[in-house]
Amino acid sequence: MEEGFEEGAFLGVAPTSSHADIVVVPLAYELTTSYGMGTADGPLACIAASAQVELFDAELGEDLPAGLSLHTVPVWEGEAATLLGQLDEMTTHAERYFKGDMFPLFLGGEHGILPPIVRAARHHPAVDGDLSRLTLVQLDAHADLRSHLDEEPFSHACAAARALDVGAGRLLQAGIRAYSKEEAERMESDSRIQSWLAKTTQHPHTGQPHWSSWLDALRALEGPVHLTLDIDGLDGTLVPATGTPVPGGLTFWQAVETIEVLFANPNAVVIGADVNEIAVQEGNPLTEFTAACLASRILAHHVLARREGRWIPTSANPSTVQHPAQQEKAGYFQLNFARDHRAQPL
């Protein structure tokens, strides 16, 4: 281990001050998995694997976090007796990390973490309470645009649909290769959604123009952006333990290129990111290590964005990590979705 290594901290890096520039937020949320299990263990497994990621970054020319204060907060575990209650708890937990000058990186956990993260992002100064300003950039094997799965509208298979319902203004998604007829129809009919299918971008002979189109769309974005990276967007050989691995996905370097291009856009500001659907396979740490490598790429390019002035700080709220969160008794999700939700005790 490197000198100064801190057990349980992302990359083994201890905070250098009480002020947090970057905060890693593990969310042990797993209530609607429909195939492989274990995503609740993913965040801590990713943090443990990150101890093996090299700190030196060639583009930065120094070790991460490159002079910034990196905080890793304790893992969040829901306490509410219903799914909607846990979504409200998660929203409250996430809100503080959008209020100050912190860049939050959330680790999941199933993709159902996305709607509460989007709801919490309304507090970021670039969003300023108007979530229609926010663009979601999604890497995923699945469209996640179902109205429900197994009668559950907040299934991980509905994450992008519910994020739009919460108020996100636009969705760009790539790596998509598993989706229903309902989702195909929505991808065609909803003007807020642009989808790049893996069938086109990954074609061995004709894929490059389609991939270039994806990168051009990222370069054209303006305003606040949240990056949501479901690791099953990568080819299943790279992430064998994820909940729903699918062959024919993105390469590791395509995911890295997406991160690079997105953070380099001078007209957009990436206000947060999540890496989700991390799970554990005994004896094979490839999935969580791949997730940790991508998470470190996100942090490195946030550092570059700060250096080059592509970050919107605010002094309205101090960037001090505080916990535990004060939980709302009846929050947004319970008040707005209870009528259409089977609120059975967990």
Average pLDDT rounded to a whole number, residues 26-41 = 72
Q: Is a pLDDT exceeding 70 seen at residue 254? A: yes
Residue at 169 is within a domain: yes
Residue 280 inside a domain? The answer is yes
Q: How many domains does the chain have?
A: 1
267-291 residue pLDDT tens: 999 999 999 989 888 899 999 999 9
Domain range spanning residue 290? Answer: 18-312+323-340
User: Stretch 132-143: mean pLDDT, rounded?
Assistant: 97
Q: For position 326, what pLDDT does the model report?
A: 42
Average pLDDT over every residue of 205-222:
98
Q: Using pLDDT thresholds of 50, 70 and 90, give the confidence band for residue 227.
A: very high
Distance CA 243, CA 35 (A): 6
Record the tokens describing residue 304, joined without a space: 């570059």
Structure tokens of 97?
A: 């990390």
Q: Does 346 fall in a domain?
A: no
Give the torsion sign (CA, 240, 243, 247, 248). Answer: negative
Residue 174's pLDDT is what?
Answer: 99
pLDDT computed for residue 70 by the predictor: 97
Whether 9 maps to a domain, the answer reads: no
**Mean per-residue pLDDT for 203-223?**
98
- Answer whether 224's CB lies under 8 Å from 133's CB: yes
> Which residues partner with 275 through β-bridges?
107, 229
Q: Is 198 a domain residue?
A: yes
Q: Which DSSP category does 99 fall into? A: H
Mean pLDDT for the chain overall: 89
Residue 3 lies in a domain: no
CATH assignment at residue 327: 3.40.800.10
Task: State in Å, rounded, how far the first CA of the chain is from the last one.
Answer: 41
10 in a structural domain: no
> Does residue 314 carry a pLDDT above 90?
no
With cut-offs at 50, 70 and 90, classify the pLDDT of residue 317.
Answer: very low
- Asked, for residue 1, whether it belongs to a domain, the answer is no
- Give Cα separations from 279 to 105, 282, 343 (angstroms): 17, 10, 26
